[in-house]
């Protein structure tokens, strides 16, 4: 695996709880995003995985995420508890396969 891909793998692994949360919720009002997910959503927005629609709601860009996962050769994201969003990914809790992003 090339060195330049490792930071993106780590980032997506760390942000996977927010990705899973958005995948479950669908469209989420900007004002109703819980504090633990706020910074993660901003990071996902920067890499193009989350889109802010009409400056009122966040939406997960599933096609972009699938393409990004495919380019990195990642078959599933490791979901970690929301309270460790900013720390290292220690151990997997529940895998989230790219196929779950319907």
| pLDDT for the residue numbered 29 | 93
Enter the tokens of residue 66.
């699938």
Residue 80 above 80 pLDDT? no
Domain ranges of the chain: 3-94
Going from the C-alpha of 2 to that of each of 6, 22, 25, 43, 62, the distances in angstroms are 7, 29, 34, 22, 25
Tens of pLDDT, residues 8-53: 778 887 888 899 899 898 889 999 999 989 999 999 999 899 999 8
| pLDDT for the residue numbered 62 | 87
| pLDDT for the residue numbered 16 | 87
| Cα dihedral sign, 81-93-13-62 | negative
SS3 string of 3-52?
HHHHHHHHHHHHHHHHHHHHHHHCCEEHHHCCHHHHHHHHHHHHCCCEEE
C-alpha to C-alpha distance for 96 and 20, rounded to whole angstroms: 8
DSSP label at 73? T
Q: What is the mean pLDDT of the chain?
A: 75
């Amino acid at each position: 695996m090339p060195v330049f891909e490792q930071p993106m793998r780590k980032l997506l692994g760390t942000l996977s709880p927010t990705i899973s949360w958005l995948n479950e919720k669908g469209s989420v009002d900007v004002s109703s995003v819980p504090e633990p997910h706020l910074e993660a959503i901003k990071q996902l927005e920067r890499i193009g995985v989350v889109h802010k629609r009409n400056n009122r709601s966040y939406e997960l860009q599933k096609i972009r995420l699938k393409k990004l996962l495919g380019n990195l050769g990642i078959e599933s994201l490791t979901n970690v508890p929301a309270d460790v969003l900013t720390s290292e990914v220690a151990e997997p809790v529940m895998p989230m396969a790219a196929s779950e992003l319907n």
